[in-house]
Amino acid sequence: MAKYSFETTAVGEMLDTPEVLALIKEYIPDVLEHPLLEVGRTFIFIDALPYIEDMVEEEQLELFREALEKLE
């Protein structure tokens, strides 16, 4: 099982983990500009997706998911 995933990892944990933050900056950087980013830190990432769907394309999310799940 992957250490990080859309289904189990909170947004805050992703933001606070340098390796994951680097992936966010690479694949879905626009979400870092979301006005409610700090409020959403407690959300599991999959639960936050509806709030960022207009900021990212499905392909970007899939590339991020793949890279995220490869982290150990």
pLDDT in tens, 24-51: 999 999 999 999 999 999 999 999 999 9
The torsion region of residue 34 among left (phi > 0), alpha (psi -120 to 50) and beta comes to beta
Q: Are 43 and 11 in contact (CB under 8 A)?
A: yes
Please determine, for residue 1, whether its predicted confidence score (pLDDT) is greater than 80. Answer: no
pLDDT, residue 27, reads 97
Determine the average pLDDT of the residues in 56-63.
96
What distance in Å separates the CA atoms of residue 43 and residue 38, rounded to the nearest whole number?
Answer: 10
The neighbour count for residue 33, using CB atoms within 10 Å, is: 8
- At residue 65, the pLDDT reads 96
Contact 61, 26 (CB under 8 A): no
Taking the domains of the chain in order of start, what are their residue ranges?
11-70
Q: Which residue, 25, 21, 29, is CA-closest to 4?
A: 21
- pLDDT at residue 2, as a whole number: 82
